[in-house]
Structure 1
């Protein structure tokens, strides 16, 4: 019985350490993104919205507001700033001419994301230490972690 208790305790310590590392990673990425947003004269939320559009493609302002967790009125200001900066295009929805869709301008986001080259190079070097099977395992774990995060956000809705 004592072996099981020790194993359970060791596992709890490992899981607790893993969660602490995730918080540390989150803090470092937030800090990096804050520095990048300053370099390109955007607010942090503007950069978050631009990143969402770059990853997921065009969205209506209301859908984007829901996805990034901001009030629709706040999203209007975000979109206005991104459009003034030349980072996004605001167009009529092809299916509903009354609706608007915003999309990231590929030429502009390249300039923004080049500020992440140092981190990307460090990630490439880090990944060189892992086998393809290990990278698949890590990728799967991170996907499940992102899914857990999305479900946790939904709990607030």
Structure 2
């Protein structure tokens, strides 16, 4: 087998493992969302606001890949549950920003703690250089996922115009 073929096989194996990881994390997220009485997408949107916010509803919809009308329902549920607030801009009353409610992220951190413990145990068997390599691969994989998502969104937008 050539080096090129071997690299293709390894890349395919990594892609398949990442797809399985996506499924497993989706199942975990579904369980966590149920624990806090939200929909999976609500938790995703809260995470985005918590990490990247405050965001306008339009920016959040774009980042989450949701239609603005769908985002309204998500924000209504998050606001009712005490996860986010929508605040009007003092100078432009039409402008709204979505803010994560302080302290609510800790509830999610607690629910994800089991995963954190499992990952700590997994990492215990590897040295710092190996962990740095894995962390770099994951960061770069996230960027590849964003580029792929943006590409699909752009294709979808151009198909509807």
TM-score (norm 1): 0.90
Matches within 5 A, 1:102-141: 102-141=98-137
For structure 1, the 5+ residue unaligned runs are none
CA RMSD of aligned residues (A): 1.5
Matches within 5 A, 1:31-110: 31-93=27-89, 96-110=92-106
Deviation (angstroms), 1:139 = 1.6
Q: Which residue of 1 aligns with 2:157?
A: none
1:89 is paired with a residue of what secondary structure?
strand
Deviation (angstroms), 1:136 = 1.9
Q: Which residue of 2 aligns with 1:154?
A: 150
Among 26, 29, 40, which residue is 1:30 paired with? 26
Aligned length: 153
1:155 is paired with a residue of what secondary structure?
helix
2:10 is paired with a residue of what secondary structure?
helix
TM-score (norm 2): 0.88
For structure 2, the 5+ residue unaligned runs are 155-161
Instruction: Give structure 1 regions of 4+ aligned residues with deviation exceeding 4 angstroms.
Output: none
